[in-house]
Amino acid sequence: MENFKKTVSFVDAEGHRATITAEITNLNGYPEFTASNYSGQCLDEIKPANAAQKHLIYLWENWHLNGMHAGTPEQEAAVKEWQAQGNKYNYDAICKYLALNNLYVIEHPKTGKAYKYGEGWIVRGLPEGFDNDLKDTIKDIEAAEAEREAKKEKKTGDARILELMSEQDINENMLDACRAYLKAIGADDLSDFLESYQGEFKDDEDFAQDMAEQLGAINTNTSWPNNCIDWKQAARELMMDYSEQDGFYFRNL
C-alpha cells in the first residue's frame, strides 16, 4: 500500500468546521493509518452531516493507529463494552476488569504466545483496498462540501437580490429575471430593471418576432409575407439595442 496524505475540510451537522488530515505511511514496515484535526486526534467530536463524513469517522474509529493496539481484538472489544457503560479509560481499572473476565492474559493473535493487555503493541493490518476506500471517501466529502458551498452562495445571493427587488417594488416571481439582469450588467442595482426588462424567450429570433408583433409591424393573422421574413437578420439588427442573459432579454439603457 503506497503512502498517502490528504487534508479535507468540511462542515459537520452542527455547523462546526473540521479540517482533517488523513495519512497512510509505511515508516514501521507496515501500512499505518492516522487521522487528526486541528485540535488533535478527536474526530469522535465531529457530528457527521452525511454518509461520507460518517464513513470517515468509521475508518478512524476502526483503523486509526492500527499499529498501536494495546490489546487483542477480544481485549479491545471488552474494553469498548466497559467504556460504553460510562467508565472512563483507566489502565489499572481496565486490567482488573479484563482479569475478572479472564481476558487480561490471552493468546497473541500472531505469535500464539501469552499476551498481557498493554505489554506491547499489536498491529492490525489494514484491509485490502483500504487506501482506495479512504481516497473515495475524501472525494465524496469534497464533492458534498462543494455542493453545500454552492447552495450557500446561491442562497446568500438570492437573499440580497430579494432585498433589492423589495426596494424597487418588484414582484418576487421575477427573481430569476432579476438575477439574470444583475449578472448581465455586472452591478448590484435594479433601479432600471423594470424599464429594461423585455421578457423571456427561447432565442433571439423568437424575441425579434415577438417585438415585431408588439409593434404591429406584422399581421399575425396572415402567413404571407410573415413566412418570408429573414428573422435571423431581423434579430441581428434588433440585438444591437438589446442584451440577452440566461434566456431573459433587456433593452440597453
Joined grid coordinates for residue 128: 485490502
Tell whether 238 is covered by a domain. yes
Containing domain of residue 77, as a range?
A: 68-122
Which range is least confidently modeled, 54-63, 123-132, 226-235?
A: 226-235
Q: Cβ distance 67 to 79 under 8 Å?
A: no
Looking at the fold, whether 97 and 140 belong to one and the same domain comes out as: no
Q: 107 and 152 share a domain? A: no
Answer yes or no: do 57 and 134 share one domain: yes
Cell of 87: 467508565
Identify whether the C-beta of residue 74 lies closer than 8 Å to the C-beta of residue 103. Answer: yes
Cell numbers given for 153? 452562495
pLDDT of 156 > 80? The answer is no
Q: Give the C-alpha separation, 251 to 240, whole Å.
A: 10
CA distance 185 to 242: 12
Residues 5 and 63 in one domain: yes
pLDDT at 13 over 50: yes
Instruction: Give pLDDT, residue 41.
Output: 47
Indicate whether 73 pLDDT > 50.
yes
Q: What pLDDT shows up at residue 234?
A: 87
Kindly state whether residues 34 and 144 are assigned to the same domain. Answer: yes
Q: Is the pLDDT of residue 108 over 90?
A: yes
Burial grade of 215 (CB within 10 A; 0-12, 13-18, 19 or more) = exposed
Mark whether 31 and 75 lie in a shared domain.
no
- What is the average pLDDT across 50-54? 96
Grid cell in block for residue 37? 484535526
Q: Among 39, 38, 5, which residue's Cα sits nearest to residue 22?
A: 5
Note whether 138 and 218 are same-domain residues.
no
For residues 40 and 47, the model is more confident at 47
Residue 169 domain flag? no
pLDDT of residue 206 exceeding 80: yes
pLDDT of 75: 95
Angstrom CA distances, 173 to 111, 162, 179, 248, stand at 73, 10, 11, 14
Q: Does residue 96 sit in the same domain as residue 106?
A: yes
Tell me: do 206 and 239 sit in the same domain: yes
114 and 135 both lie in a single domain = no
Structural domains counted in the chain? 3
In a domain, 182, yes or no: no
Query: Residue 197: which H helix or E strand, with range?
Result: strand 197-200
Look at residue 185 and tell me if it is in a domain: no
State the pTM of this model: 0.58
Residues 100 and 134 in one domain: no
- Give percent of the chain with pLDDT exceeding 70: 92
Would you say residue 225 has pLDDT above 70?
Answer: no
Q: How far apart are the first and last CA of the chain?
A: 64
Q: Are residues 28 and 144 in the same domain?
A: yes
| Among 60, 73, 68, residue whose Cα is nearest residue 28 | 68
**pLDDT band at 16; cut points 50, 70, 90:** confident
